[in-house]
Amino acid sequence: MVLNGRPLTVLVVVSFWLLLICGLSCGVQSDIDCLKGIKDALEDPYGYLTSWNFNNNTEVFICKFTGIDCWNPDENKVLNIRLSYMGLKGQFPSAVKNCTTLIGLDLSNNKLFGNIPQNISNLVRFASSLDLSSNNFSGQIPVDLSNCSYLNVLKLDHNKLTGQIPAELSLISRLKQFSVANNLLTGPVPYFGANSSITADSYANNPGLCGFPLDPCQSTWT
C-alpha cells in the first residue's frame, strides 16, 4: 500500500543512501535504538508492544515485532511501522529518526498529543506514507512537512490542529492522498493544481478553510 506511486525511485534513493552512509558494515543498531526509543516514549496500556522484547540475542529479531515490516526478513532494517488502534499515549516519538530507512509510519487511531515536531522532515526523511490521523495532535502543521518530498500519502485528519495549512505542502509533487479533515484549521488551502486528486473531502469539518477546491477566500486572506 505504501509502495504505490513510484516505489522504484524511493527504493533506489534509499538503497543509494544506505550504501553511501553505511558502506558494507552498516549496523542494525540504529533500528534497534529506534524501536526501543519508540517503546520507551509511548504508554501502552493494552500491552500491544510487549512482543517488542529487546533481550533476544537472535541475529534478526525486530522484524518479528508486532507492527514492524523490514526491507528484508534477514536484516533488521525497518521499512514500515504500523501501530494503529493500539491505544498508545504520548507525544510524537522522535526516536523514529533512528529508523533510517523507514518509508511508512502509521500511528493513526491512538491517543497521541502535543505538536507535530517542527523538524519532522529530519525524523521521517524518506517517508512515502505518514498517517497521524485520529489522535489528539495540536498546534500548527509544520511547514517543514513540505521537505518530506517522497510523501504519497499524508493523513492528519481527526486531530486538533490549528492555524493555517502551509501553502508549501503543494511542493510535495508525489502527494496523491492528503487529508486534514476534522481539525480546527483556518485560511487558504494549498493549491495542488486544477487536476489534483485532492478534493474538498480532504478539508471537511474545519471552521474556516477556503480556496480551490473550496469556496474562494475573502480578501482578508491574501
SS3 string, the chain, reads CCCCCCHHHHHHHHHHHHHHHHCCCCCCHHHHHHHHHHHHHCECCCCHHHHCCCCCCCCCCHHHCCCEEEEECCEEEEEEEECCCCCCEECCCHHHHHCCCCCEEECCCCEEEEECCCCHHHHCCCCCEEECCCCEEEECCCHHHHHCCCCCEEECCCCEEEECCCHHHHHCCCCCEEECCCCEEEEECCCCCCCCCCCHHHHCCCCEEECCCCCCCCCCCC
69 contributes a contact to ligand NAG by CB under 6 A: no
| Residue 64 engages ligand NAG in binding (rule: CB under 6 A) | yes
Rounded Cα distance between 209 and 42, Å, is 33
Q: CB 200 → ligand NAG: shortest distance, Å? A: 17
Closest CB 203 distance from ligand NAG, rounded Å = 21
212 is a contact residue toward ligand NAG (CB under 6 A): no
Looking at residues 96 to 155 of the shown chain, list those that interact with ligand NAG (rule: CB under 6 A). Answer: 97-98, 111, 113, 117-119, 121-123, 136, 138, 144, 147
Site for ligand NAG in 12-41 (CB under 6 A): 33, 37
Q: Which is nearer to ligand NAG, 88 or 123 (CB)?
A: 123
Residue 220 Cβ, how far from ligand NAG at the closest point, in Å?
A: 28
| Part in contact with ligand NAG (CB under 6 A); list of ranges 77-85, 94-102, 170-178, 198-206 | 94-102
Does the protein bind ligand NAG through residue 191 (CB under 6 A)?
Answer: no
Which residues would be at the binding site for ligand NAG (CB under 6 A)?
33, 37, 53, 56, 58, 61, 64, 94-95, 97-98, 111, 113, 117-119, 121-123, 136, 138, 144, 147, 193-195
